[in-house]
Structure 1
Amino acid sequence: MNKRKDAPMVIVGVDGSAPSVEALRQAEKLAIRMGAQVQALACWSPPAPASSYGVGNVDYEKNAQNILDNAIQVAFGIDWPENLTTRLVRGPARETLIKESRNAMMLVLGRRGFGGFRGLLMGSVSSACTAYAHCPVLVVHAGNEANSKRDHHA
């Protein structure tokens, strides 16, 4: 699929977690069916100046780029899908993803679960995006062998 500027966009919030990697995979599958592009978006920001920790020589943007690149590597290997682009945005994830959803046909996010009752709850970014995004939001659970085995034996 060629990268067209006029193609609909599916935006995926990527933080390097297993759920965000699964969100990448699912978004790419959906985008193919919808004739859409996928934009893997990672947010970054340095800690607040009032923080008790020094900023030092940490390159937060470079770290975010490494996390994004690694997530795509884990999701797809070395053969990136043709309909995939990446972007780094400086800013908090919640506000950035809600703003970016204005230009998307769908926003796809991974959900971090904690098991048990807490596993039924969404994280703050997912919750905010499902409440305030300007497009449909798909929240993806990370698949893992433990859950698959448990589900098959239930």
Structure 2
Amino acid sequence: MNAETGAKPVIVGVDGSEYSSAALRYAGTLAARLGTRLEVISCVGMPDYLVMSRLEGADRQFTARLEDAAGRLVEDALGRAFSGDRPENIDVTIKFGPPAKVLVEESRRAQMLVVGRHGEGGLLKAAMGSVSKACAAHSNCPVLLVGQEADAV
């Protein structure tokens, strides 16, 4: 293992869905095998104008509530993914912004980005959702897309 690569985390994007739990399990296994930390990132995506209007005013309570809700979704996903046996070397971060943009930006400092592969619904039964497509297309590191069917393995 390269010293430069070993210092970089495995980053996993989490939105609280079942896809997140499967992605978390894979990311946790990868981080342990690579001997690096696991960094869990959840994004609160809102239109930029709404974020700015809320952050500039005295109403920070609104953003704090959104952050708390996102944190609870992450904790639920972690509980499903690791059943109480959570990896030791793990960090959880809640970020504001469009998930695809945030995860692509964060990929600059990661050795691998892991995301759940939503999709298979809507018109033409897409195999990937918009966030996983953007991460696969624009990430600055290798990307692992994990489908919910990974739980059956």
TM-score, structure 2 normalization: 0.78
**Which residue matches 2:76?**
70
| 1:92 alignment partner in structure 2 | 98
Amino acid at match of 1:133: S
Aligned pair 1:7/2:41, yes or no?
no
Give 3-state SS (helix, strand or coil) of 2:94's partner: strand
* RMSD over aligned Cα atoms: 2.6
1:44 maps to 44
- Encode CA deviations 1:92-123: one digit per residue, 9 max, x unaligned: 10110010000000000001132699455211
Check conservation: 2:118, 2:132, Cα contact below 8 A. no
Paired residue total? 136
Tell me the TM-score normalized by structure 1.
0.77
Name the structure 1 match of 2:145: 139
Secondary structure of the residue aligned to 1:143 is helix
How far the C-alpha of 1:144 sits from its partner, in A, is: 7.0
Displaced runs of 4+ in structure 1, greater than 3 A?
45-49, 115-120
Question: Where does residue 53 of structure 1 map in the other structure?
Answer: none
Could you tell me which runs of 5 or more consecutive residues in structure 1 were left unpaired when the two chains were aligned. Answer: 1-5, 50-56
In structure 1, C-alpha distance between the alignment counterparts of 2:95 and 2:137, rounded to whole Å: 21
Partner residue of 2:66? 60
Superposed displacement of residue 85, structure 1: 1.5
Percent identical: 42
The verdict on how the C-alpha distance between 1:119 and 1:144 changes in structure 2, with shifts beyond 3 A counting, is: farther
Residues 143 and 18 of structure 1: is their aligned pair in 2 closer, same or farther, counting only changes over 3 Å? same
Structure 1 Cα separation of the partners of residues 136 and 33 of structure 2 = 23
- Larger helix percent: 2
Match of 1:32 in 2: 32
| Per-residue deviation, 1:37 | 1.0
- Verify the 8 A CA contact 1:37 1:84 in the aligned structure 2: yes
Contact 1:101 1:107 in 2 (8 A): yes
The one-letter code matched in structure 2 to 1:132 is H
